[in-house]
Amino acid sequence: MKLLRFLRKVRTYLARYNPSVEILISKANLVGNLKEYQKHYPKLSFAPVLKSNAYGHGLVTVAQILDRERIAFFVVDSLYEVMILRNEGIKSDVLVIGYTRPENIKNTKLARVAFTITSMEQLQEIARTISSRVRIHLKVDTGMHRQGILPDQIDDSIRIIKANKFLHLEGVCSHFADADNVDDTFTKSQIKQWERAVPLFSQNFQAIKFFHIAATAGTFYCEETYGNAARLGRGLYGISPSTFVELNLKPVLQMQSVISSLKTIEAEEYIGYNITYKTTRVTRVATVPVGYFEGVDRRLSNCGFFKIGDNYCPIVGRVSMNITSIDVTSLPDVKLGDAVTIISNCKEDLNSVENIAKLTHAIPHEILVHIPQHIRRTVVKN
C-alpha cells in the first residue's frame, strides 16, 4: 500500500503541466451537499452515485473526497469502475447498479462489492454457477419496466436465494420513473407496488441491510414509504432535483480555460463554420481552446455565453470541435491568456449547468456527463 501511494505521487509529479482547459471540483460544496441531505433526512443513509465518471466530475476525484464520509455505499454502473476505485485505494463499500455478466460476478475477487440483480434470468444463472459468497441487491420492477424482476416473480426469487448458500441478499431496490413530476399519480402507483414487495423480502430475510427505491428526486417520498437508503446523484453535485423540497445545494463543478487568440473583425464579416454569424459592427473576437470535444454543447452556437471576470461574452459562430469564438468587444483590456469561465458553479450565471441545459433543451446531468474524462480535475477547498 505504501508503494502504491509512492507511485501515485511519482505519477502526479511527472504529469505536472499547465492545461488550457481544467475542471475545478469544490470539495466544500460536494461534502456540503451530502451533509445537507443528511441533515434534512436524518433517518436515511445516502449512497453517492459515481457512475458516468461521477456525473462528469471525476470518478476517482469524487470518491477520494467522500471515502471517509458517513455513507451507505458508493454506486457505480460497472465492475470496471469498481476496479478503478480499488486500484486507487478507495475502501468504501460499492454497489454495481448496472447489469454485470454472471461470469464476472462469479470470478471477481474484489472485496466489499455488491451486485444488482436486474432480471430473473440473471438471478437463475448466478445461482447455478457461483461457488463462493456473493452480495446482491435484488431489483424489483415497480412500474418503470426497464430493469428488475416482475412482481409475480418475487416468490420464485425468494425460493432461489434461500436455496443457495452463496447468495447473500444485502439489499432490495427499485427506481422511480417520474419522481420529479408535480403530478405524483404514477409515483404513488409505484409506491403501492413497492409496499407489496418489501414485506415479502423482510419476512424471509431478516439480515437485509438496505431497502432503496429513491434516487435524488425521489428522496422526498422516502418519508412515506419503506426505505432506509437513497441513491444520491444529481443532488450530490448541486443540481436541484425537486419541486417539493428546496435544499441549500451548491454546484460542485466549474470549467475554466484561457483566451488563445484575439483579433478585430470589420463589420459585415463572418465568423466560424457554415458562416452562421455575421458581424454588424467592428467586433473584437477572442478564441477559447474548448469545443464540443471538451464538452461545450454545439447547441450553444450563437446563443450561449462564457464569462470573463464578471462579464458575459456571447458565443459567436458555430462551436467547433476544439475552439469556440466569443465577442469581447465590451472588454478592451482582455489579453492572451486571460481566464475564461466556460461552466460556472454559480446557479444564477448564464453559463451555469442549469442555464446551459435550458438553452440547449437538455437536462443538467446530460451536459455534465459529456465532459470528457481526459480533462484534468483539480480539487479546490472552496
For 16-54, the pLDDT digits (tens) are: 778 899 999 999 999 999 999 999 999 999 999 999 999
Most confident segment among 212-226, 231-245, 284-298? 284-298
* pLDDT of the residue at 310: 96
Active site residue 273: yes
How sure is the predictor about 148, in pLDDT bands with cuts at 50, 70 and 90? very high
**Span 320-329, pLDDT tens digits:** 999 999 999 9
The two beta strands, 74-76 and 283-288, are unpaired
Q: What's the CA gap between 139 and 174, in Å, rounded?
A: 5
Question: Cell match 405524483: residue?
Answer: 184
Contact between 136 and 146 under an 8 Å Cβ cutoff? The reply is no
Pick the CATH number of 27-232 from 3.40.50.300, 3.10.20.30, 3.40.190.10, 3.20.20.10: 3.20.20.10
- Provide CB contacts within 8 A for 39, sequence distance 6+: none
Does domain 253-344+346-380 sit in CATH 2.40.37.10? yes
Q: Is the dihedral of CA 310, 312, 313, 319 positive or negative?
A: positive
Domain limits, the chain: 27-232, 253-344+346-380
Contact between 277 and 307 under an 8 Å Cβ cutoff? The reply is no
**37, 41, 51, 277: which one is catalytic?**
51
**162, 188, 192, 273: which one is catalytic?**
273
* pLDDT of the residue at 223: 84
For the entire predicted model, the pTM comes to 0.93
* pLDDT of the residue at 382: 85
Contact between 48 and 252 under an 8 Å Cβ cutoff? The reply is no
Q: What's the CA gap between 216 and 218, in Å, rounded?
A: 6
Instruction: Count other Cβ atoms within 10 Å, centred on residue 200.
Output: 16
Query: Can you tell me the mean pLDDT for 353-366?
Result: 96
Active site residue 51: yes
**Span 214-228, pLDDT tens digits:** 999 999 898 889 999
Contact between 113 and 102 under an 8 Å Cβ cutoff? The reply is no
End-to-end CA distance of the chain: 30
Give backbone dihedrals phi and psi of 44, rounded to 5 degrees, phi first.
-100, 145
* pLDDT of the residue at 261: 98
**Span 243-258, pLDDT tens digits:** 667 899 999 999 999 9
